[in-house]
Amino acid sequence: MRDSLMAVIGTLAGVALASTTQFLSDRRQRIAQQRARVAETPLQLLDIIFRYREDFWMLVAEALLATVVECRGARLRARLSLALADETVR
């Protein structure tokens, strides 16, 4: 009886150890992925700001140079890339 009780306790301890190890491993992986996303976010935000300023200056150039057709196409491309970048950050 004592031997079977020790075998059951040993099996339960092994399952508990394996579960804890799996949980800690998953947790470390999630933390590493979160850190990677956080490190990537400022670069994406700077890219969005750059595209916004590019769109603004294209609007100014359109007003100053009166080359509406060329500037409007470039502005629309910049605005599209800005919208796509905004969706990736969200």
Interval 19-57: pLDDT, tens: 889 988 999 999 999 998 888 888 888 888 888 888 788
> In this predicted structure, what is the pLDDT of residue 32?
93
67-to-56, 63, 64, 88 alpha-carbon distances in Å: 15, 8, 8, 32
Locate the domains of the chain by residue range: 2-89
Supply the angle between the helices 68-89 and 2-65 in degrees, to the nearest 10: 160
Identify which has the larger pLDDT, 7 or 70.
7
Distance CA 45, CA 34 (A): 17
Q: In sequence order, which residues have a C-beta less than 8 Å from that of residue 28 and are 6 or more positions away?
A: none
Tokens of 36: 């990677």
pTM of the model: 0.46
